[in-house]
Chain A
Amino acid sequence: GDSVTQMEGPVTLSEEAFLTINCTYTATGYPSLFWYVQYPGEGLQLLLKATKADDKGSNKGFEATYRKETTSFHLEKGSVQVSDSAVYFCALRGMNTGFQKLVFGTGTRLLVSP
């Protein structure tokens, strides 16, 4: 079945450092790919998404490119801030399926220090 694998955390960075959180997936066809973020004390929020190969999703300085050849959707940010400290979830929705089929990774906690 479909699955998502994320790098384990926590990822600890200093402010203004470069961030990469790896995400790879297993799915048939062309799933839609998502990054959700959960800030402390809040629910999950959609950060960015990509619905077809080579699409780049971007939001709030974060980017991720849908790479079909490597089945990856790595999250990147050029310069992190303390306010980016949160848990980040990679997720996929299979072709021709709905959100009831959303498959999540285990989440990666990011800690950014001043």
Chain B
Amino acid sequence: NAGVTQTPKFRILKIGQSMTLQCTQDMNHNYMYWYRQDPGMGLKLIYYSVGAGITDKGEVPNGYNVSRSTTEDFPLRLELAAPSQTSVYFCASSYSTTGANTEAFFGQGTRLTVV
């Protein structure tokens, strides 16, 4: 039972490079989310998706892009990496987004350093 899988676990990028953080879930969840966590800060939402083909901005979307071509996959794209994007990135998914019994499942995180 894989749950939410993120790759890679670690990555070092040079300023201006681009990369894609991969996220896939095998729970047939409609809702998927990307968060970043900076040192000493809580998690902040970058983008989210309510289903295949539908995405929306979160609290801190600048410098990122997402796509949702399938229910399972929700990749996060950094086009021109900047030092401010050094962070730990978490992908999550949930069956629904409201409701008392809804639970969000998280991946292991990707630690990204931009130098």
Which residue of chain B lies nearest to A90 when distances are taken between CB atoms in the complex? B42
- Is B12 on the interface with A (CB-CB < 8 A)? no
Most chain B CB within a 10 A radius of its CB, from A36, A42, A44, A46: A44
User: Are the CB atoms of B41 and A100 closer together than 8 Å?
Assistant: no
User: Are the CB atoms of A43 and B43 closer together than 8 Å?
Assistant: no
Kindly supply a per-residue 1/0 record for chain B positions 88-115, scoring 1 wherever the CB is within 8 Å of any chain A CB and 0 otherwise: 0010101011101011111111000000
Closest beta carbon of chain B to A108's beta carbon, Å: 11
The interface size bin for chain B is 20 to 34
Q: List residues 85-114 of chain A with CB under 8 A from any CB of chain B.
A: 89, 91, 96-100, 102-107
- Is A75 on the interface with B (CB-CB < 8 A)? no
User: Are the CB atoms of A100 and B33 closer together than 8 Å?
Assistant: yes
Kindly supply a per-residue 1/0 record for chain B positions 39-70, scoring 1 wherever the CB is within 8 Å of any chain A CB and 0 otherwise: 01111110010000000101000000000000
User: Are the CB atoms of B100 and A102 closer together than 8 Å?
Assistant: no
Which residue of chain A lies nearest to B47 when distances are taken between CB atoms in the complex? A100
User: Are the CB atoms of A100 and B90 closer together than 8 Å?
Assistant: no
Chain B residues within 8 Å of A42, by CB = 108
- Is A41 on the interface with B (CB-CB < 8 A)? yes
User: Are the CB atoms of B42 and A100 closer together than 8 Å?
Assistant: no
Q: List residues 24-46 of chain A with CB under 8 A from any CB of chain B.
A: 32, 36, 41-46
- Is A21 on the interface with B (CB-CB < 8 A)? no
User: Are the CB atoms of A106 and B100 closer together than 8 Å?
Assistant: no
Q: Chain B: residues with CB nearer than 8 A to chain A?
A: 3-4, 6, 31, 33, 37, 40-45, 48, 56, 58, 90, 92, 94, 96-98, 100, 102-109
